[in-house]
Structure 1
Amino acid sequence: MKDETAVLEYGDVTIEARGTMVGGRLKLSEQGISFRNSKTGKVESVSASDIEVINWQRLAGGYGLRIFTENGSLYRFGGFKESEQSKLEKFFKNTYSKTMSEKEFSVKGWNFGAAKFDGAVLSFDVSSMPAFEIPLNHVSGCTTGKNEVTLEFHQHDDASVNLMEMRFHIPASELAGEDPVENFQQRVMAKASVITATGDALAIFREVQCLTPRGRYDIKIYPSFIQLHGKTFDFKIPVQTVLRLFLLPHMDQRQHFFVVSLDPPIKQGQTRYPYLILLFASDDEDSIELPLSEEEIREKYEGRLEKEISGPQFEIISRMFKGMCNRKIVTPGNFTGHSGTPAVSCSYKAAAGYLYPLERGIIYVHKPPVHIRSDEITSVNFARSGSTTRSFDFEVEVKNGVIHTFSSIEKGEYNRLFDYVNAKKLRIKNRGKMEMGGKNDDFNDSDADEPDPYMRRVREEARERDDDDENSSEDEDFNPGEEGSDVAEEYDSFAGDSSDSDDSDAGSGSDSGKKKKREKKERKSRTKTISEKPRKKRQKKEKDENKPKRPQSAYFLWLNDHRDQIKKENPGISITELTKLAGQQWRELENRKKWEEKAAEEKAKYDEAMKAYKASLGGSKSSKKSSSSPKKPSPTKEMLSPSKAGSGKGFKSKEYIDDSSSGGNSTDEDDKPLKKKAKPVNKKAKKKEESEEEEEMEDTPASSEEEESGSD
């Protein structure tokens, strides 16, 4: 609450509107009383000179003000505290020279009494005190029976409970020639908000294209309402329900949108239309002449209309709406998009449309239309649009927690939208993350090497990971393919100490190459088999039930205490919305000392419990260590290292076991290379070789044989 010498402001006050209390901000000043609706932004104002009666009255759950004007209108404001009565009474006496009296109501609960009409208010009195009051502008219809009258009321879409109708029984009158039922109905209808087409229309526009509700309608403008007459449906829009008017140029520069914001919205069955969107061609021209005199136009419309209006059709109809509804026409400001127009092409809820940044908010046209005021916006966010970098998303978060996402915006609009948001001093969530021209900029214009910079960066990271994996998978101790290594002596045919390999190379020239290839294949298959062994699963750590639980923070202690209250105040709220709302309330909480002290106590208890727990674990840990058996060494490395296999320690691979050995004892033969498997020999060739050897032995002299034997 803001209190100055001649101004009182209340930020959490409600006003009665069509059977429900709507929240907003109330300002009391020397000029009068003004109330701004927090949801729609609509301003209700009462001039100080029009105020006739001011009452302080008891309302459900608090106190309120009852303002009665000279023209018979009634305004009720709620949400005041009893302590504010004296301050308000002093303000009205000093500023308006009005005495604020206390209004008493009957609480007997009787359903019979006297009906009194006072201006635009119907009062039902019991024992000379009002039991309840009905503002007649809330009445949408009045029907009569034999001895009764039924009042029907306008419904409010945001109200959880609505009053549909009320019936009054009227006894027969003793006066001859007077019907009390008909008299009651006439007095109600004189002030009720019932639309009746009386007289001729001021202007008629034929076959106007309407996007919402869809179709072509004849627009007839009457002094108190606007009628949309189509082939199937007919809508009547009271002048006072028009909130705002928008005139927006189409992106193609050949058409114009005319948007009318309505509260309450027009209805078509169960469908609500809070916006009326008309589409006009820019080159369509028209002219009208109003059936009013110059004096009537000057007195009733205060010069907002002219007797003869001509020009483009969208200008004529916008000027008519402006003069009839007494509302300003909102047009785009200084923003210019990448295409040179004040519109940004985008999508909203899978439907394509246009986003218009305005001076005091943004509006999206057209399916569905969305208007967001600047004072509603808490933050904006620039996000990536899927996996592509050719477009981005523009997210707008409002005060009630709803996030409006306008997607598929071309990247050329980024700088312009960013400058617009920056100029309006709106909070940007990801400031600096998507600046143009940065080192890791995903929205740059260089598409020469790779059309998608994001995918290029992913591929580069994947290559780096592959290189790291290849380097880490190499085993320096096991390189059978390298000459000079320990394993090469056991496996490769080019080992220097192997005498058998020399004989085999001398005996078979071409077979040695085939053997080398075969041995390489065998080595590859062995290494592949070893590397493909599955990893052992890590065992889950067992939870110790005796271990003390960690203490809760001050925020969670506060949340546990207020969770039920938040759910009760917001029925049907989801977990995500509840968390957001609770976080916001915690940030706004001024006195946190109580919960921080509780958290400190819990932390102290936890520390003591942990000390006792760790002390109890001292003996059990040592016993566990002594009783646990030593782990067996893994055979994998010993199998992989041939140098250890030949030493007789650990495990041996199958290749090192000699066929002739019956046991597993280590001998000198174990260090020798594997015996080559004998190939089948042709019998004829064998006999020929034996005969040749015998002939050579016969030709050799005995002395030479003795010399050879001696040398051996």
Structure 2
Amino acid sequence: MSDRIEEFSNILRYPHLEKGKLRMAESGLGFKPAASPNQPQPTVFTLRTENLRVCLWQRASIGFRLRLGLGDRTIVLFDGFRREDFDRVQAAMKRFYRLTLEAREPSVRGWNWGEVEVQSDSVAMSIHKRPVFDLPLSKLASSQITGRNEISLEFTPVHTDSHFMGDELIETRLYMTGSSGLRPSQLEGAKDKPESADDEEGEVSKVEAFNEDVKRKADLGQAMGDVLLSFPETLFLTPRGRYDVDVFSAFIRLRGKTYDYKLPYTGIHRIFEAHKPDDLHVYLTVGVEPAVRQGQTRYPYLVLQFAKDELSDVQMNLEKYVLDPPGRDGLSKVPFPAPFHLPFSPSPSPLYPSPLPTSSYSVDHHDGLKSSHKANEGFLFPMESHLVFLPKPPIILSHKEVGNVVFMRADSALTSSARTFDLKINLRNGNEHIFSNISKEEHPPLVAYMRNRGIKVVKDLSESADVRGTVNYAESSEEDVMGVPMGGDEEEDEEEDEDFVPGKAGDSDVGEEYDENFQESEDEDAME
């Protein structure tokens, strides 16, 4: 290869697991994946010279690894180098990019404890100053304290394709004890805060100081100056609590008292807007993938509640292309003042690439049907292409998933006086959901809704059996039903039993072993 280009073959790029050729030149670095049947014309990955900041040489599972740190705190990894490639890579880095390639030998002791440091672009663990692993802060989704001395770090998956069969790190937990030696007012980021009574309680623990350091340095991928919209103290019903919602150009950040989350727009796959029957509040349901987690509990759907006519002054840091996105209307077309939930709504918001499903069914000018799912009370919202139960637990059923529905206790003569009925939804995968205590006034329009959407309505067979049983019971006498005469006000016919002889031993009750007269009677008969 010429002095102006260095090329390396059979290089594997992480985390995309693409194998191809890596070229280095004065203008930058380029990686071209090998062609495959699924990708006959692969996309070339490039890095400009001015974006490179740090380069490290490490041992990897496949040969040796070149670790590149970029100006935006992103880490790029290339595996598959041979040991003899070190001199070529070192010379190319110094000649083209004026960077010194540093070789670091990893720790192979196999310990699960060591020193943890929050660097500018990653969380690094080392043993005796030898690296064990590092976790990029650019992929950090949330950082939360799960125990007294335990912290959980969750990461956004790189591969969202369901056909991907590899392994990815989604969560790791670190356990650290002891005190950090700092008071709350001494933590970085709290310099401007006045000392309070909390400082007199003692020093901050290591896990709390580590959590604050991770949040500050990661800042969930963006600087505070890039916040487009900010909504303080927004009410979430699932998971329950109030969170400060910060809207960025690529993701939404949720900041609560205990938990913080980062929701990339690529992970938001559906949004539903539904109005409560009280006509005062609005539900907003956001489907996220991967699901938000609190400990071992997963929340694939977030449920927000807004006052329908609530107004609030919000500073919007939006540029022209965001206010008026090409090809569709943006927020500049919306009359202000507007409801507080408007920026989250599916249709007019510039945050989403296309309109998402909203509620489309109404009875008595209300969108929701009051019902219950098991022990939880809520509202069932029949929409254009989904059936949605809110608020807890949020259940989203697509019409394509529904095999048939059964209206239970709707037409039964046995329950003609009942004011409610149950709706049983049988899914194609064999599961079922039962929504109970629905007002009978909703039965005719709900049946029409199901038939208009092509959903099969099946007659309740158990209800028919109950009706047949009721008719037979009504036509039968008490004697036919019970099999024996029933006592009442009328006198029963009495006939003497001619075969009955009072005092005869054969007609007496069979003696029991605890009957003291049983043996005595036998003895008297024998003596006679």
TM interval, shorter chain, is 0.5 to 0.7
Letter in 2 for 1:332: S
From 461, 464, 467, give the equivalent of 2:472: 461
2:381 maps to a residue whose letter is: Y
CA distance in 2, matches of 1:411, 1:468: 36
Give the 3-state SS of the residue equivalent to 1:240 in structure 2: helix
Contact 1:289 1:307 in 2 (8 A): no
In structure 2, the partner of 1:410 is: 439
**Equivalent residue for 2:374?**
349
Q: Which residue of 1 aligns with 2:252?
A: 226
Work out whether residues 323 and 350 of structure 2, in 8 Å CA contact, stay in contact via their aligned partners in 1.
no
Residue 458 of structure 1, CA deviation: 6.0
Query: Does 2:311 align with 1:285?
Result: yes
Judging changes above 3 Å, is the alpha-carbon distance between structure 1 residues 313 and 298 closer, same or farther for their aligned structure 2 residues? closer
* Identical residues among aligned pairs (%): 24
Q: Residue 304 of structure 1 corresponds to which residue in structure 2?
A: 330
Q: Which runs of 5+ in 1 are unaligned?
A: 1-17, 21-51, 58-63, 73-108, 129-139, 167-192, 435-439, 443-453, 475-519, 528-638, 640-651, 656-712
RMSD: 4.8
Change (3 A) 1:164 1:54: closer
The answer to whether the 8 Å contact 2:243/2:255 transfers is: yes
- The residue type equivalent to 1:524 in the other structure is E
Residue from 478, 485, 494 that aligns with 1:524: 494
Distance 2:321 2:482 in 1: 94
Give me the whole-angstrom Cα distance separating, in 2, the residues matched to 1:371 and 1:283. 26
Q: CA 1:415–1:115 in structure 2 vs 1: closer, same or farther (change >3 Å)?
A: same
Task: Write the mapping of 1:216-255 to structure 2, written as runs, cut at 5 A.
Answer: 216-255=242-281
Is residue 429 from structure 1 mapped to residue 458 from structure 2 by the alignment?
yes
1:379 to 404, 425, 428: 404
Return the index of the structure with the highest Cα Rg.
1
1:116, CA displacement in angstroms?
A: 7.7
Report if aligned partners of 2:233, 2:244 keep a CA contact under 8 Å in 1: yes
Question: Where does 1:151-166 land on structure 2 (aligned, <5 Å)?
Answer: 151=135, 154=156, 163-164=168-169
Q: Partner of 2:419 in structure 1?
A: 390
Find the counterpart in structure 2 of residue 178 from structure 1: none
Q: How do residues 565-604 of structure 1 correspond to structure 2 at under 5 angstroms?
A: none
Which residue is equivalent to 1:150? 134
2:94 aligned with 1:125, yes or no?
Answer: no
Which of the pair has the greater relative contact order for Cα pairs under 8 Å at 6+ separation?
2
On the 8 A contact 2:269/2:289 being kept in 1, the answer is yes
Separation in 2 of the partners of 1:306 and 1:375? 36
CA shift digits 1:202-231 (9 cap, x unpaired) = 111222222112122222212222122233
Deviations 1:650-674 (A, max 9, x none): xx7769xxxxxxxxxxxxxxxxxxx
- Further displaced range: 251-260 or 313-322: 313-322
Structure 1 residue 365: deviation in Å?
0.7
Q: What is the Cα deviation at residue 399 of structure 1?
A: 2.8
Describe the SS at the equivalent of 1:279.
Answer: strand
Counterpart for residue 392 of structure 2: 367
Distance 1:285 1:409 in 2: 33
Contact persistence 1:382–1:395 (CA under 8 A): yes
Say which of 317, 327, 330 aligns to 2:357: 330
1:423-454 deviations in Å (ceiling 9; x for gaps)? 111122328998xxxxx899xxxxxxxxxxx7
Q: CA deviation at 1:470?
A: 9.5
Q: What amino acid does structure 2 have at the position aligned with 1:112? A: G
- 3-state SS of paired residue (1:325): coil
TM-score by length of 1: 0.40
Determine helix, strand or coil for the equivalent of 1:324.
coil
Question: Is the 8 Å Cα contact of residues 241 and 264 (structure 1) preserved in structure 2?
Answer: yes
1:124 maps to amino acid: D
Q: Provide the rounded CA distance (Å) in 1 between the counterparts of 2:472 and 2:76.
A: 75
Deviation at 1:284, TM superposition (A): 1.2
Distance 1:470 1:287, change over 3 A: closer
Q: Which has the higher helix share?
A: 1
CA distance 1:302–1:469, change in 2 (3 Å): closer
SS in 1 for 2:451: helix
Measure, in 2, the Cα distance between the counterparts of 1:367 and 1:306: 35
TM-score between the two structures when normalised by the length of structure 2: 0.53
Deviation at residue 307 of structure 1 after TM alignment: 9.7
- Where structure 2 has 5 or more consecutive residues not aligned to the other structure, the ranges are 1-14, 18-31, 47-59, 84-120, 137-154, 172-217, 486-490, 503-528
Separation in 1, partners of 2:482, 2:277: 57
CA contact (8 A) 2:271 2:346 kept: no
Aligned-residue offset at 1:525: 5.7
How far 1:195 moved relative to its partner?
2.8
Give 1:143's aligned amino acid.
A
Q: How does 1:661-680 map to 2 (within 5 A)?
A: none
Q: CA deviation at 1:524?
A: 1.8
Paired letter, 1:113: F
